[in-house]
Structure 1
Amino acid sequence: MKTKLLALLMTLSLVGYGQSLLKGRVTDENDQALPGVNVLIKGTSQGTVTDANGEYSLNSVTPDAIVVLSFIGYTPQEVAVGGRTTVDIKLVPDTKTLEEVVVIGYGTTTVKELTGSVSVVNGEQLTALNPVRIDQALQGQAAGVQISSASGSPGGALNIRIRGLSTNGDNNPLILVDGVPYSSDGLNALNPSDVESINVLKDASAGIYGVRAANGVIIVTTKQGRKNTKPSLEFSGYYGVQQTTKKLNLLTAREFAILKNEAFAAGGQAPPFLNANVGNGTDWQDEVFQNAPIQNYNLNLNGGSEKSTYSIGGSFLNQEGIVGGTKAGYRRYNARLNFTTELAPKVTLQSVMLYTNERRKTLAENGISSVLFNTINASPVATPYTSSGDYAFLEDVAEVINPLAQISNTFNESNVNKIVGKEELTYKINNNFELSGRAGYNYAIVDDKTFSPLVYYGSGKAQNTALNAALDPRTTEIATGVSIPIYNNVTETRTSYFNYNLEAFLNYNRTFQEFHKVKATLGASVFADVNKSLTGTGYNVPYNSNDFADISATDGTNLLNSTSSWQNESRLQSYFARAEYGYGSKYLLSALIRRDGSSNFGKNNRFGYFPAVSAAWVVSEESFFNTGLIEFMKVRASYGVSGNDKIGLFRYRALLGGEGVYPFNNQLVNGVAIGTLGNQDLKWETTKQTNFGIDLNLLNGKVEITTDYYIKKTNDLLFQPDISAISGAYGAGSSPPWVNGGDVQNSGFEFLINYNDVIGDDFRFNIGYNLTTIRNKVTALPAGVDFYEFGAFGVGGGTATRMQVGYPMGYFFGYKTDGVYQSAQEVTERGITQAGAQAGDLRFVDNDNSGTINFSNDSDKTIIGSPIPDVIMGINVGMSFKGIDFSATLYASIGNDILRNYERQQPLANLLSYKMERWTGPGSTNENPRLTTAANNNGVISDYFVEDGSFARIKNIQLGYTLPGTLTDKIGARKLRVYVAVNNLATFTKYRGYDPDFSTSSPVVSGIDYGFYPQAKTFMAGLNLNF
């Protein structure tokens, strides 16, 4: 008995000796802790995940056990315990991305199994870019996506174009945030630090969203917590200084005096300056531009238990303008909650809520009468202030006012409160079926206020609201012989935007016999949009001061006081289905269809069907594919139909308007007429897109290559063709009906290559390059319509752009030039009549070969440029060594033209310095015409005013240092990184204007520069601190 007991004790002792507690810490390549790493004992179900400090512990681990570690974005590792009780492990970033998850709408897939064309910007790229606003992160990162600035002012809009201009209307893509349509102010209101990834659907993959997907789809996924992780607190922040990226080369005071004397003399007028030595003068750009601070701070808390996860965030951004300072300031507050919990073993609830408060002040930013337009054209001889310190009047140039006074007298404010969120319930029926229901909402209240004080900028200025310098009010006649004064006024508007989206969808996922993988989605959706607005204007604000600018403080009995309101509602009802099949991860097929019904269209075309199909062949899975260089190769093809219903409300209805009075029995009687004829056959624009692509992985996943060729045809564009007034409509104040009748085609090639490598244990390097070519052409217009004209050149200079079959949308239309006449003899001997031409004038091309340059009609005009680039590209570089990291991004646009339209054609307006190279006599120059105040045709729209708008810009450079874990552990932190960065460091371009990277929201006038507010160059320093 004693012997058996002794043997049992020895056995238990050996077992206890052979199994022990194993613990350790998991870090990244910078020795920073990695929370949430899966740690598993190979061959068993025993495992855990690392905590917020990257630490783990496992009981009863045998000495010969093997630990398996896996974490998204890192290469899985197997480590032998070898009898140790402490095993610290460093994970290496994964350069193989075939299993990376891609969001495709109502589901996900992997890069390997993706059959469509999707661009992805992940969290690591967002950190390197550190954008002020999230849409800036797409520029130069995603092939096929063109981002341009509508205004570089704080909070200013960006224009997003996916694979070119598809319509003469709204070209903005559909934006979804965690599955919820995100409208009103686009991506500007989102906090970049809240975003986990951005997926851009460009081809048939966007078809799942049907009528709203013609311009592409951008899916933003916000950050979520991870299960079984301790709370992790992350703080990030930066402070920076902004300045203008460029000053225009304008004439100095002395150059101005010399050239103006010459112009006046040539025009037969007395020179305005008796002495060209007029002193240093005023550099108006130095007066207007200023260094402006910017600061941003973010706080995020993430974590999770066995059944729940949470991610909570808050941020603050404050940005002043490089023009106007706080008068053009922007403040943004963000709060975010993303919470997921298991209500029952098979039931999961996800709750997302995003709150944004934006406060923005604006100046006149673009166009004639903007601050920069006045700055460019103001006389350098004039002074900003009088001897008494008041703002001086600029009397020399009509409609040009003192820009400093303009800034001081401008009071525009906007306050936006916005909540976006969803409640999504998912029931996992079994291993194959999953049912989801989602209620999304988007609610915003926008309060706008504009105060217009009594101001006087000098004699005859259209911007004057006062009669004279004493600020006496002007008067207006409200009845025969009855006039009242027009005092200052304040206008306040409250607009509410509300939409909700109710969706239900069933997902099916099953693999048969290990080779046949089937996925399917079946769903329905209801979307409603309800908006309303109320505006009031009150006159006679006390003390002519913005401090008292409130309607309640105005004169309530003033007869000019006014109120107005509007409201509208639209709905969309949809059903959709998608099926996916994969055979052995080798042959992949996806097909979908969506049926949409929109209240924006009449009963004859209210519903539409939008199908799509895509397929892929993973050639590298074939037995015959045996190459050491290429380990993955996939060929893709897709075709899909999507729609565009962004046409405004009730365009199919006959609307009242037009004439205000009718004559009856020789008496005028008040009434209304049909202002717009109805069209019950109006239907949505339809985009049909074909895509072919190839995906390659080389050198053990270090090199990724993606190429796509696309043809994108949009049919049934919406127009308002001219009709005769005898039809009973289209009289005074009326407009023609909307009809479908235009087609546009975009085609191009996309190329993306990324190289990622880890050299040794410490050096990581990556470089990426993407290129997109764009060819845009109008292929049809409504019957009987040869072209449409848009835009304006100068003041009274006629239209500037056209939309015409066979040409790119919004091309510049004007005269071509052939140098400068060098002598009067050349004018005579040329044999072409050009009215008023003299030596030194531009030589215009006789386009119609009539022998006469026609300035009274368009017969000699032709295409003189296009705002659409031939190529856009981006280069991204990143590297890290031990704790040091570096990244840089370059973006380029090549082949686009810009129409220069910010120079005022006035005798005493300032000029750009290139005018110093004007024609002064035979042989002096063949490029720039003479200067004269006499009437001439040198200012008509021509290719003389069209410039090459190609540019390359260093968008971002960032240098950071992450402190070693041994130091951060001492302060209780998991990670501490400090960095310095520069945004928009340098722009390489031949364009003379402030910023070639601009466009307007209208696609047909997108390349006309009226004096755009430039994007700022920003120097910043910041830190990232994790606990």
Structure 2
Amino acid sequence: MKNIWTAFGLIIIFNFSSFSQQITITGNVTDDKDAPLPNVKVVEKGTNNGVLTDFDGNYSITTNNSEELTLSYFFIGFDKQEIVVAGRTKIDVKMSTDSQILEEVVIVGYGSSRSKELTGAAAKVKGENIEKLNLSRMDQALQGQVSGVNISTNSGSPGGSSSIRIRGLSTFGDNDPLILVDGVVYDSEGLNALNPADIESVNVLKDATAGIYGVRAANGVIIIETKKGKIGAKPQIEFTAYRGIQETAKRLDLLTAEEYAVIKNEMFAFGGQEMPFPNTALGVGTNWQDTVFQSAPVESYSLSINGGSGKTRYSLGATYFSQEGIVGGAKANFSRYNARLNLSTELSSKLKLNSVLLFSSDTRSTLAENGIGSVLYNTINAFPNEPIRTLDGNYSYLEEVADIINPIAQMENTFNSTIADKFVGKEELVYDFGEHLSFTNRFSYNHATVDSKSFSPLAWYGTGKYANTAINADLEAPVVEIADSVFIERGASVNESRSTFTDLTFESYFNYDNTFADVHKLKATLGLSVFQRKGSNLNGTAFNIPNNSWEYADISANTAPGGFLNNAGSWEFKERLLSAFLRAEYIFDSRYIISGILRRDGSSKFGPNNRYGMFPTISGAWLISEESFFDVEFIDFMKLRLSYGISGNDQIANFAYRALLNGEGVYVFDDLITVGTALGRAANPDLKWETTRQFNVGADMTFWNHVDFTTNYFIKNTNDLLFQPDVSAVIGSFGAGGYPPIINAGNVSNKGLEIELGYHTSLTSALLANVNFNFSAITNKVTAVPEGVDFLPGAQFSVGGDVATRFEEGYAIGYFHGYQTAGIFQTQEEIDNHPIEQDGAQPGDFIFVDQNDDGVISFGDNDDKTYLGSPIPDFVMGFNFNLRFKGVDMSANIYSAIGQEIIRNYERQQPYANQLDYVINRWVGPGTSNTDPRLTTGATRNNVFSDYYVEDGSFVRLKNVQVGYTFPKKWTRKMKVESLRIYIAGNNLITLNRYLGYDPEIGGGTLSNGVDFGFYPQARSIMGGINIKF
């Protein structure tokens, strides 16, 4: 009995001891403004024991007491805190905001969302990162900033456009995304009206969750927000200016006059002709690139005022920007005047008015920039043994080649000017019914007037060469002797054109946002949208302009003899889009999110059979890090996302389903020929939308409160592509002026992986660092072609050469298709013993691969052609770096595209045309070369399109570097200046690549991408700037 009582006593003592080690800790968690924070995770460090704070930020946690007991406090958007308990039973915590993490607001279309609650693939670029790039166009600033977004320059000339591709090429038509600026629809060309320094943020919607915009969202959505003032803030005046100098980053290694003479003599000798240069000691000769390229200025000046009163906030600014071309100078310049107002006023406690006004006027002068006949095409091929001017002061004519003209004369006689005036307005009323429901009624207006003038003076470029749309005649010959010459009869000509475009948008929608019982959150958007775009054009051409002068270049100055009248023309169009949309989102306990989108669009571009389309999307997310069981100490945030949806595309001509008439019909009545009207484009009442189905799975994570990681894998399939086939692709025939209808045919698939990795930290109170790396890998493949055809042809190689690009099932859009080489025949014996018959082969010629194994190389068809490469990169990368130490800041941006190929198509296949100096290593006898063929004026197959003309286009470009210094406030206060910063910057400083051409970043159309005809390169620039705030 005694032993039983002893044991019972020991148990009581043991239990009392254990109970005495338990501790309950209570407290309250607030933000840095003393507002309570609900759903903060409070965890005993090193265990799974944890709780969440309630709606008022209160918590209570029970655990075993110890000297090492530490509590960790986690909440997205705030710095993690760890506190040693040290026996305390009440601990209140104030958490500091970490603005870098995922609490920032992202615009998602007709609303916004916190980053942590996003279910789709979206990204945000801050305006401060864009402003540092000092670029002329908004779209260029996104290059290398966001994974999955590939931006390539269509022309490096001032004001030149760019191609924006979000998750690959998907259509024959417009592949550009939908662009919205403060809710107003812009086209990519309209971005010229924006000053990049006015941008507050850029939000990019990449996956099917962009389907809230329906038919226009298949290529993604870019949402741009301009700067706004702050309520109650005193006016802040900011002045920014920079000025710099530009130059070409590269000159091609062309033959000198002496090298040219030696090689041309050899070519003519191989062709059995007399050598044209008995004296080859010509020295360097004319370096045409030195005469064409020049240093050119660039400058920008901006003034803005931001502020607000008790119920109003405002931001207004004005900008002047000017850039001359590194080719052509003032003949290829761009300038822009821009003024904007962003105003928000609380009309009452429930009603708010938001207004946006923008006016811009830009002027652009252009040269022939790309393609055969461009200035740089002529520069590359011009003869180095010819002077720029002859002894009598006239330009040299380069007579030996019909389609190569003196590039200096070409620039002097080019007069192209376009003035675009743009006015954008938005009025938006927002009515709050209460804390949870609001109604927005928005009207936006976007009007542009584009005036263009092109003058073609009477100019002499050489016998048989083309100018002013007709062959030159001898200017010194009397007009009466050459009355049949259209060139002389018409003389100098001028074309003037005015186009107007007006967009009207009416949108009304409700937004609902409410939380029930602390854990159920419901958000919904329901609305209607009406969009109308109309445009018109009037143009005319006049001939025989007096004095052959730009000064008199006006269509009213027509003085052409023989009764020539002004050629006049016009067009007009109107399109409409009627839409209804719904988005609903449910969030449970800040952990589980599901969202659905439904949009119905009706487009005037389609007939009654298929006018309306329905576009649904569903998406969801799981915030794993909010689970009580999640206890990975170094992971602060973790979210998985999934989305699937359908979007549409109507980017075709207006009323494309209807038949058109054409004025080329020819009829015979009573033995008289009568010109009338005949059927032009045939009708297709069953024309329907392109549809894009997109699946996305992704994850967002934050490590150690300083490292952000985002990844996405997507599958994007576009079906029923809209395009106009060749006559051979449809059944039936068409008369004079007739052509097939637009049809739905062809499918394209894009699959890809995106990765973004960011690091941000305050190393010390004075040292801040921010680093971002993004990576995209996309595989593009045509999965179906129109019935009845094997492929669709694209761009042509050289003049009258083979079709070099294709749209074909199993390959990327616009892939390169031609002959594959396998070395060079060294001797006649090798040719005689070669198992494959190759017609006309001689020593020094290419050995072509027999692709169809029939023993014969076929040059009249496609049987022995094969895949030679793709203009689409295997992967694209961007690296962005920002560092600030006290008053010194530094930023750098690197952009890279790897794995794409380029067609070297700027070399004229003519005996007298100049060439790059790689031909110095040509074959001149057995064993001298197995890569570069012999040169000859005789017949040869070496000039057919083959892998010899395809190059690796991979590159790494240091896009921007900027170093700045902000003066200490104790200095600036004496000048009554709030802040003063000066900086130096460089753009396109270094490009690492192996491409022989000027610039490996070659844009272009869907089937001409990566084809270089003498591409106008991007300029390298050095600038200095200043920023002052008062």
Q: Against the structure 1 CA distance between its residues 789 and 619, is the aligned structure 2 distance closer, same or farther, given a 3 Å change threshold? A: same
Where do residues 283-302 of structure 1 align in structure 2 (5 Å cutoff)? 283-302=287-306
Relative to 1, partners in 2 of residues 1:197 and 1:825: Cα closer, same or farther, differing over 3 Å?
same
Displacement of 1:519 after TM fit? 0.4
Q: Identify unmatched segments of 5+ residues in structure 1.
A: 1-37, 44-71, 78-90
Match of 1:796 among 776, 779, 800: 800
Say if 1:111 and 1:471 are closer, same or farther in 2 by CA, change over 3 A.
Answer: farther
Cα deviations by residue, 1:357-405 (Å, 9 ceiling, x for unpaired): 0100000011111000000000111100122433222113221111000
2:724 aligned residue: 720
CA offset at residue 832 of structure 1?
Answer: 1.2
Matched, 1:806 2:810: yes
CA distance in 1, matches of 2:830, 2:900: 34
Alpha-carbon separation, structure 2, partners of 1:306 and 1:755: 38
1:471: Cα distance to partner?
Answer: 8.1
CA distance in 2, matches of 1:375, 1:474: 36
- Aligned equivalents of 2:178, 2:413: Cα separation in 1: 38
* Secondary structure of 1:143's aligned partner: coil
Equivalent residue for 2:627, pick from 622, 625, 629: 622
**Residue 596 of structure 2 is aligned to residue 591 of structure 1:** yes
- The separation in 2 between residues aligned to 1:279 and 1:878, in whole angstroms, is 49
1:530 to 514, 534, 542: 534
Q: Select 2:756's aligned residue among 715, 730, 752.
A: 752
Change (3 A) 1:186 1:374: same
Give the deviation of 1:96 after TM superposition. Answer: 3.5
Corresponding residue for 2:206?
202
* Contact 1:475–1:484 (8 Å) recurs in 2: no
Deviates more, 1:771-780 or 1:545-554: 545-554
Amino acid in structure 2 at the alignment position of 1:244 = T
Structure 1 residues 331-370: aligned runs within 5 Å: 331-370=335-374
2:609 is matched by which residue type in structure 1? N
The structure 1 residue matched to 2:391, chosen from 354, 378, 387, is 387
| Root-mean-square deviation (Å) | 2.2
Q: Which residue of 2 aligns with 1:705?
A: 709
Separation (CA, whole Å) in 2 of partners of 1:145 and 1:878:
21
The match for 2:62 is none
Query: Cα distance, 1:474 vs. partner?
Result: 9.9
CA shift digits 1:792-817 (9 cap, x unpaired): 11111131111111111111111111
In the alignment, the residues of structure 1 paired with residue 937 and residue 312 of structure 2 have an alpha-carbon distance, to the nearest angstrom, of 76
SS of residue matched to 2:891: strand
Counterpart AA for 1:468: D
Q: Of the candidates 155, 159, 177, which is equivalent to residue 159 of structure 2?
A: 155
- Pairwise CA distance, 1:349: 0.2
Report Cα offsets for 1:611-663 as digits up to 9, x if no partner.
Answer: 00110000001111101111100000000111110011121001112742123
User: SS of 2:641's equivalent?
Assistant: strand
User: Who is 1:12 aligned against?
Assistant: none
Describe how 1:543-554 pairs up with structure 2 within 5 A: 543-554=547-558
Q: Quote the residue 2:1025 is aligned against.
A: 1022
Matched, 1:577 2:582: yes
Partners of 1:910 and 1:564 in 2: how far apart?
41
User: Residue 596 of structure 1: SS of its match in structure 2?
Assistant: strand
2-structure distance, mates of 1:390, 1:487: 20
Q: Indicate the residue corresponding to 2:140 in structure 1.
A: 136
Whether contact under 8 Å (2:432, 2:438) holds in the other structure is: yes
| Contact 1:467–1:474 (Cα < 8 Å) also in 2 | no
Once residues 239 and 955 of structure 1 are traced to their aligned partners in structure 2, the CA distance between those partners, rounded to angstroms, is 18
Quick one: distance in 1 between partners of 2:584 and 2:258? 73
Cα distance per residue 1:184-217 (max 9 Å; x no partner): 7232221001110001110022100000011111
For 1:726 and 1:991, how far apart are their aligned partners in 2? 40
Aligned partner of 2:845 among 841, 866, 883: 841
Looking at structure 1, the residues matched to 730 and 588 of structure 2 have their Cα atoms a distance apart, in angstroms, of: 65
2:158 is paired with a residue whose SS is coil
Output the amino acid matched with 1:861.
Answer: K
Which residue pairs with 1:689 in the alignment? 694
Deviates more, 1:978-987 or 1:380-389: 380-389
Cα distance change of structure 1 residues 782 and 477 upon mapping to structure 2, 3 Å threshold: farther
| CA pair 998-475 structure 1, distance change in 2 beyond 3 A | farther
Asked whether 1:439 is paired with 2:443, we answer yes
CA drift at 1:672: 2.1
Decide which of 498, 503, 508 is 1:499's aligned counterpart: 503
Query: Any conservation in 2 of the 1:675–1:735 contact (CA below 8 Å)?
Result: yes
Residue 929 (structure 2) aligns with: 925
The answer to whether residue 467 in structure 2 is matched with residue 467 in structure 1 is no
Q: What is the aligned partner in structure 2 of residue 562 from structure 1?
A: 567
CA displacement 1:963-1018 (0-9 Å, x = unmatched): 00111111111111100000000111111111111211x21111111111000001
Classify 1:648/1:471 alpha carbon distance in 2 versus 1 (closer, same or farther; 3 Å).
farther
Equivalent in 681, 685, 690 of residue 680 of structure 1:
685
Is 1:316 the counterpart of 2:320? The answer is yes
Counterpart of 2:140 in 1: which secondary structure?
helix
Residues 698 and 288 from structure 1, CA distance in 2 versus in 1: closer, same or farther, beyond 3 angstroms?
A: same
Tell me by how many angstroms 1:344 deviates: 1.2
Over 3 Å counting, the alpha-carbon distance change for 1:1011 and 1:294 in structure 2 is same
Deviation track 1:339-363 (CA, whole Å, cap 9, x = no partner) reads 0001111000000011110100000
Whether the aligned pair in 1 keeps the contact of 2:730 and 2:740 (CA below 8 Å) is no
SS of corresponding position for 2:534: strand
Pick aligned residue for 2:940 from 936, 949, 958: 936
2:622 maps to amino acid: W
The answer to whether the aligner puts 1:255 opposite 2:259 as a matched pair is yes
CA distance in 1, matches of 2:277, 2:725: 52
Identify the match of residue 953 of structure 1 among 951, 954, 957.
957
Aligned partners of 2:623, 2:34: CA distance in 1, in Å?
33
- For 2:499 and 2:102, the matched residues in 1 are separated by 46
How far, CA to CA, are the matches of 2:486 and 2:592 in structure 1?
83
- Higher deviation after alignment, 812-821 or 456-465: 456-465
SS at match of 2:1007: helix
- Superposed CA deviations along residues 503-550 of structure 1, whole A, max 9, x for unmatched, are 000000100011111100000000001100000111222111101111
Q: Distance in 2 between matches of 1:678 and 1:847?
A: 41
Q: Which residue, 732, 735, 744 being the options, matches 1:731?
A: 735
Amino acid at match of 2:103: E
Matched-pair contact (CA < 8 Å) for 1:477–1:483: no
- TM-score of the superposition, structure 1-length normalised? 0.90
Tell me the distance in 2 between the aligned counterparts of 1:727 and 1:783.
11
Cα distance, 1:726 vs structure 2: 11
Partner of 2:1009: 1006
CA distance in 2, matches of 1:454, 1:834: 48
Residues 825-874 of structure 1 deviation map (CA, whole Å, 9 limit, x = unaligned):
11111121111111100111111111111111111111111111110010
Matched residue SS, 2:211: helix
Using the size of structure 2 for normalisation, the TM-score is 0.89
Kindly tell me: are residues 184 and 159 of structure 1, through their superposed partners in 2, closer, same or farther at Cα, counting changes over 3 Å? closer
Report the secondary structure of 1:825's partner residue: helix
Distance 2:336 2:523 in 1: 42
State which of 663, 669, 683 in structure 1 corresponds to 2:668.
663
Distance in 2 between the 1:164 and 1:413 partners?
33
Structure 2 equivalent of residue 489 of structure 1: 493
C-alpha separation in 1, matches of 2:748 and 2:481: 51
- Return closer, same or farther for 1:100/1:727 CA change in 2, 3 Å cut-off: closer
5+ unaligned residues in a row in structure 2: which ranges?
A: 1-30, 37-75, 82-94
Partner letter of residue 1010 of structure 1?
A: F
Q: Does the alignment pair 1:604 with 2:604?
A: no
State the partner residue of 1:328.
Answer: 332
Aligned AA (1:671):
G
What fraction of aligned residue pairs are identical, expressed as a percent? 53
Partner of 1:216: 220
Q: Does 2:840 align with 1:862? A: no
2:490–2:560: 8 Å Cα contact kept in structure 1?
no
1:1026 maps to a residue whose letter is: K
Trace 1:47-126 onto structure 2 (pairs within 5 A). 94=98, 96-126=100-130
